[in-house]
Amino acid sequence: MHKLNTIQKNLYQLLVELDEICKRYDIDYLLAGGASLGSIRNRRFMPWDDDIDLFITRDNWEKLRHIIETEENVLPEGRSMVYKENTPYYCNPLPRYVNTETTTIYSSQSLPAKSCGHQIEFFIFNPMPLGEKAKEEYLDILHVYTELLSPYFVVNKRATLEEWEKHYELYEHYCHRIDEEGEEKVLKELEDRLKQYSPKYCDQYCVFWGYNKHVYDKEHFQLESEMGQFEDGMFPLGYRPEGLLRSAYGDSWMYIPEYEEQLVHNAVRNDYLPFEEYSSRYLPKINRESIFEKCKINKRNNAKVYYKRRKVEMLIAKEIVAVGSVQISKDLDGKDDYLRSLLDDKDYDTLFNEFENFTKLQNVENVFKYNILVPISDKNLATYLFALIDQGKYYDASKYLDAREQQEKPLNDELNEIKEIISICHEISVARYDLKDIDLVRSLVKKYEIEYADLLDIYRAKIWIMENTADSIEDYKMIDEFCNHVLSLYPFDGETMAFQAKSKFECGHEKEAMKLYRKSIDNTRNGIIWQKVEDESGISRMDMEADFIEAINGS
């Protein structure tokens, strides 16, 4: 097992305990979220991770709940299972397995004060009805149900403005019904509607929670699950789990986020004291029922003004773009041909430096959130997107192109070509990472290599095929030579370096290989490549990342 912090040690122990319980009672679950990412990319916790999520289908959760409620000594000492049916003021459809001898208090859980230790969270998946219209109606009911259930915060924060208008109209309708008929009756009616479908007659499952549209094909849960290493244990990941990750995190799921993008949860934490040491101090001093009712009133008020706040947020973002665009016009206007020459010369450092202010402004959170495109010429936008694709970052190019497609003006020929290239890169990525299908990757390369001969993702796919079919020194010599060609065009590509390092090692050039392995992990954040290098050379880029994060947090 790798070096873990105290929270991760406790979480891993909880996972081992749950796994043993589920095996004992024949209950199926899957690693989810960061644990699944960590398992598939690097077989371990991500260094900054401070929680574990699990997927469980409705029928498996009901089976687990029944066992906990009817049998004795199912849970170890110092553990509890918290869910809305057994905990007053816990208004969350996600059950939690809790270490009661530790403290992790989130503001939304301070009132129930029962799921406030280190915890594992279950995301319950319900069978959905068949047919697109029925699924859309199902999601509408699901989103309004979760909004009505939680009085502590607005649940569906990720809805677009258009979605929120529809969502709030339905929410307000059911609020009126609650006032007239009672909350318990209305929530029970909605919950029964959401639980009425059978796994036998569905093709997709949907997570029982807010506006994150985690809708997955049934096969991920029903077909034989892949097992994946996570720290020193083996745990279920689902059928073709890379597809689950791509649906949840997008096409860049295999890449390790930079430090600034790593998600850490804010909470009151104590790794050694039970959370009752905290809750016993404040609970006797408050009237929970009174606060609970005030939370409900406050929630309705927040929901009522939520659209207006988001509209103001969008207008502010537009003004930020309008102001910032003045400088960007000075940076880029009249430079179309010069910038294109930098692209042709593959002088990416200079090119990206020219686009630095554009990139910073376009990546402001609310600018992307509201699909606001920083105005530059289509030729300059195409230059920038071609450069991203040349760097193997088609998934980033896709985000910029999506913002451009929201504009009324149709795409020009170059932007349509970029759209086609992004689609090709996506196809190859799915075939290579999700399906691991050599024949499919080979057929895609053959289909596209004539028109896009120098596309980096096609070169990477060719090297991947060569390595996966190599069985002699001569094969590795060919890989080495081909990597030399690719690196003459893309000298920065850490993924190609890692493949070449393996070929050099197999050809007996160990010193050169080790030097190239180290260089490769400094030139990519692809977690799959990091793990490949660790497996083949013993050099752990993830340990370096953990040391870096520890040093930053310590300072």
238 and 124 part of one domain: yes
Asked, for residue 143, whether it belongs to a domain, the answer is no
Closest CA to 392 of 464, 501, 490, 483: 490
Q: What six digits make up the tokens of 128?
A: 């959905």
* Residue 141 backbone dihedrals phi, psi, to 5 degrees: -65, -40
Residue appearing with tokens 């690097």: 42
Residue 277 belongs to some domain of the structure: yes
Residue 209 pLDDT: 86
- Sign of the dihedral defined by the CA atoms of residues 510, 512, 516, 518, in that order: positive
In-domain check, residue 535: yes
Residues 411, 519: one domain? no
Other C-beta atoms within 10 Å of 58: how many?
17
Please list the pLDDT of the chain residue by residue as tens digits (555 residues): 578 899 999 999 999 999 999 999 999 999 999 999 999 999 999 999 999 999 999 999 999 999 999 999 999 999 999 999 999 999 999 999 999 999 999 999 999 999 999 999 999 999 999 999 999 999 999 999 999 999 999 999 888 888 999 999 999 999 999 999 999 999 999 999 999 999 999 999 999 887 766 899 999 998 999 999 999 999 999 999 999 999 999 999 999 999 888 888 888 999 999 999 999 999 999 999 999 999 999 999 999 999 999 999 999 999 999 999 999 999 999 999 999 999 999 999 999 999 999 999 999 999 988 989 999 999 999 999 999 999 999 999 999 999 999 888 999 999 999 999 999 999 999 999 999 999 999 999 999 999 999 999 999 999 999 999 999 999 999 999 999 999 999 999 999 999 999 999 999 999 999 999 999 999 999 999 999 999 999 999 999 999 888 888 775
- Are 343 and 473 in the same domain? no
Q: Are residues 216 and 68 in the same domain?
A: yes
Q: Is residue 511 part of a domain?
A: yes
On whether the CB atoms of residues 170 and 148 are closer than 8 A, the answer is: no
The predicted structure's pLDDT at residue 555: 52
Q: What is the 3-state secondary structure (H, E, C) of 383-411?
A: HHHHHHHHCCCHHHHHHHHHHHHCCCCCC
Residue 541 pLDDT? 95
**In the chain, how many domains are there?**
3
**Last residue of a domain, which of 423, 440, 465?**
423
Sign of the torsion formed by the C-alpha atoms of 464, 466, 472 and 475 = negative
Question: Do 400 and 413 contact (CB within 8 A), yes or no?
Answer: no
Report pLDDT for 551.
87
Q: Residue 210 has what pLDDT?
A: 79
Domain assignment of residue 538, given as a range:
456-554
Q: What is the pLDDT of residue 236?
A: 98
Q: Is 539 domain-assigned?
A: yes
* Same-domain status, 400 and 519: no
CATH number for the domain that contains residue 119: 3.30.460
What is residue 159's predicted lDDT score, i.e. its pLDDT? 87
In a shared domain, residues 415 and 478:
no
Same-domain pairing of 273 and 338: no
- Is 56 within 8 Å of 28 (Cβ atoms)? yes
Contacts within 8 Å (CB) and 24+ apart, 472-477 = 473/506, 473/507, 476/502, 476/503, 476/506, 476/507, 477/503, 477/507
119-127/52-57 β-pairing: parallel
The b/e string for 410-422 (b: 16+ C-beta within 10 A; e otherwise) is ebeeebebbbebb
How many angstroms from the chain centroid is the CA of residue 389?
22
Torsion-angle region of 21 (φ positive above 0: left; ψ -120 to 50: alpha; else: beta): alpha
Report the CATH number that the domain containing residue 506 is assigned in CATH: 1.25.40
For residues 119 and 282, the answer to whether their CB atoms sit within 8 Å is: no
Please, are residues 35 and 123 in contact by the beta-carbon 8 Å criterion? no
Its pTM stands at 0.94
Distances (CA, A) of 59 to 14, 104, 127, 197: 22, 29, 10, 11
Q: Are residues 391 and 496 in the same domain?
A: no
Tell me which residue has tokens 């029925």. 134
In a domain, 218, yes or no: yes
Both 272 and 327 in one domain: the answer is no
Residues paired with 126 in a beta bridge: 206
Q: Is residue 487 part of a domain?
A: yes
- How many Å apart are CA 497 and CA 21, to the nearest integer? 44
State the pLDDT at residue 1.
53
How high is the pLDDT of residue 137?
A: 96
pLDDT of residue 208: 87
Inter-residue contact 123 to 94 (CB < 8 Å)? yes
Same structural domain, 39 and 99 = yes
Q: Which of 390, 454, 459, 448 is nearest to 423 (CA)?
A: 448
Q: 116 and 228, same structural domain?
A: yes
Residue at which a domain ends, from 286, 308, 335: 286
Domain boundary among 265, 286, 307: 286
Whether residues 122 and 213 fall in one domain: yes
- Integer CA distances (angstroms), 341 to 383, 459, 492, in order: 9, 23, 19
In a domain, 29, yes or no: yes
